[in-house]
Chains A and B, each alone.
Chain A
Amino acid sequence: MVSSPTARLGRIFIHLFMLLIVSLCIIPLMAVFSTSLTSESDIAQHGYSLIPLRPDTTGYELVLKNPQTLLRAYGVSILTTLVGTLVGIVVGALCAWPLSRPDYPHRKKLAFFVMFTMLFNGGLIPTYLVTANLLQLKDNILVLILPYLANAWFIFLLRTFFQTIPMSLVEAARIDGADEFLTFRKVVVPLATPALATVALFYSLQYWNDWYLALLYINTESLVPLQYLLSRMMSNLDFISQNVSAMPAGVNMSSLPRESARMAMCLLAIGPMLFVFGYFQKYFVRGITLGAVKG
Chain B
Amino acid sequence: MGKHGILRLFLAVAFLVLGSLGLGAQTSEPVKLTWYIVGSWPQAGQEEVFAKFNTELIKRANIQIEIRALGWGDYDQKMKVLNASGEAYDIAFTAPWMNNYVQNVSKGALLPLDDLLKKYAPKTYASMAAKYWDAARIDGKIYGVMNQQIFARTSAMGGRKEFYDLAGVKLPQYPEFIADLKQLEPFLKALKAKLPANVTPLEIQWESLREHYGYEQLAPGVIVYFDDKNAKAKSEFDSKEFKAYYDLIRKWNVDGYLHGGEWVSVKDRAPAFKNGEIAFGVGGTYKPGGDVELEGQYGGMKAVSIPMSAPVATTSGIVATMFGIGRNSKHPVEAMQFLELLNTDKELYNLINFGIEGKHYTKVDANYIEGMKDSSYSPNILWELGTTFNAYLQKGQPADVWTQTKKLNESAKASPLVGFNFDGEPVKKEIAQVDAIWQQYGRLVNNGIGSDKEYREILDKVKKAGVDKIVAEADRQIAAWKSSKK
Stretch at the interface among A86-94, A159-167, A199-207, A232-240: A232-240
- Cα distance A129–B84 in the bound complex, in angstroms: 9
Q: Could you pull out 10 A-B pairs where Cβ atoms are within 8 angstroms?
A: A41-B275, A44-B272, A125-B81, A132-B85, A133-B85, A232-B42, A232-B74, A235-B73, A239-B71, A254-B300
For B92, the chain A residues whose CB sits under 8 A away are: none
Q: Are B72 and A253 in contact (CB under 8 A)?
A: no
Using an 8 Å CB-CB cutoff, how does the interface string of A242-271 with B read, 1 for contact, 0 for none? 111111111111111011000000000000
Q: How far apart are B297's CB and chain A's nearest CB, in angstroms?
A: 6
- Report yes or no: B42 in contact with A252, Cβ–Cβ below 8 A: no
Q: Are the C-beta atoms of B283 and A252 separated by less than 8 Å?
A: no
Please indicate the chain A residues that have their CB under 8 angstroms from the CB of B274 in the complex.
Answer: 40, 253-254
Residue A215 at the B interface, CB < 8 A?
yes
- Which residues of A does B touch, CB under 8 Å? 40-41, 43-44, 65-66, 69, 124-125, 128-129, 132-133, 215-216, 219, 221, 231-232, 234-256, 258-259
Bound CA–CA A123/B356 (angstroms): 43
- Whether a CB of chain A sits under 8 angstroms from the CB of B287 is yes
Contact in complex: A232, B383 (CB < 8 Å) = no
**Number of residue pairs A-B, CB distance < 8 angstroms:** 114
Interface centre among B300, B376, B381 (most CB of A within 10 A): B381
In the complex, what distance in Å separates the CA atom of A249 from the CA atom of B97? 13
Judge whether B136 is part of the interface by a CB distance below 8 angstroms. Answer: no
Ordered nearest first, which 6 A-B pairs have the shortest CB separation?
A235-B73, A239-B72, A252-B380, A254-B296, A249-B284, A246-B97
Q: In the complex the two chains form, is A249's CB within 8 Å of B73's CB? A: no
B68 interface contact, C-beta 8 A: yes
- Complex CA–CA separation, A1 to B98 (angstroms): 69
B62 within 8 A of A: no
Residues of B contacting A41 in the complex (Cβ-Cβ under 8 angstroms): 275
- B269 CB within 8 Å of chain A: yes
**Chain A hits for B379, CB < 8 A:** 255
B270 and A240 form a contact (CB under 8 A)? yes
A245 touches B42 (CB 8 A): no
- Please give the distance in Å from A63's CB to the nearest CB on chain B: 11
Does any Cβ of A come within 8 Å of B22's Cβ? no
- The docked-state distance in angstroms from the alpha carbon of A12 to that of B375 is 57
> Are A241 and B73 CB-contacts (below 8 A) given A221-B42, A250-B383, A252-B296?
no
- Tell me, rounded to whole Å, the shortest Cβ–Cβ distance linking B109 to chain A: 13
Q: How far is the CA of A259 from the CA of B267 in the complex (A)?
A: 10
Of B78, B84, B270, B287, most A-chain CB atoms within 10 Å: B270
Q: Tell whether, in the assembled complex, residue B283 and residue A244 are in contact, meaning their CB atoms are under 8 Å apart.
A: yes
Known contacts A232-B73, A255-B40, A125 near B84 by CB under 8 Å: yes
**In whole Å, how far is B25's beta carbon from the nearest beta carbon of chain A?**
26
Task: Collect the chain A residues with CB atoms within 8 Å of residue B207's CB.
Answer: 245-246
B208 nearest CB neighbor, chain A only: A245
**When the two chains form their complex, are residues B73 and A234 in contact, meaning their CB atoms are under 8 A apart?**
yes
B479: CB under 8 A from chain A? no
Q: Are A215 and B77 in contact, with the CB atoms below 8 A? A: yes
Known: A239-B72, A249-B290, A251-B380. 19 other contacts (CB 8 A): A69-B42, A69-B44, A216-B78, A216-B81, A235-B74, A236-B40, A239-B71, A240-B72, A242-B266, A248-B320, A248-B321, A248-B383, A250-B284, A250-B287, A250-B382, A251-B381, A252-B380, A253-B296, A254-B300
Query: Shortest Cβ distance from A264 into chain B, in angstroms?
Result: 16
Q: Is the CB of B81 within 8 A of A245?
A: no
Chain B CB within 10 Å — which of A66, A244, A250 has the most? A250
* Complex interface: chain B residues within 8 A of A215 (CB): 74, 77-78
Q: How far is the CB of A103 from chain B (nearest CB, A)?
A: 45
Q: How far is the CB of A133 from chain B (nearest CB, A)?
A: 7
Q: Are A219 and B68 in contact (CB under 8 A)?
A: yes
A65 CA to B381 CA in the complex, in Å?
23
Closest to A254 in B: B296
Contact mask for chain B residues 265-307; partner A; CB cutoff 8 A; 1 contact, 0 none: 0110111111101000001110100100100110110000000
Instruction: A69 to B43: give the CA distance in the assembly, Å.
Output: 11
**A250 neighbours in B (Cβ, 8 Å):** 284, 287, 290, 293, 380, 382-383
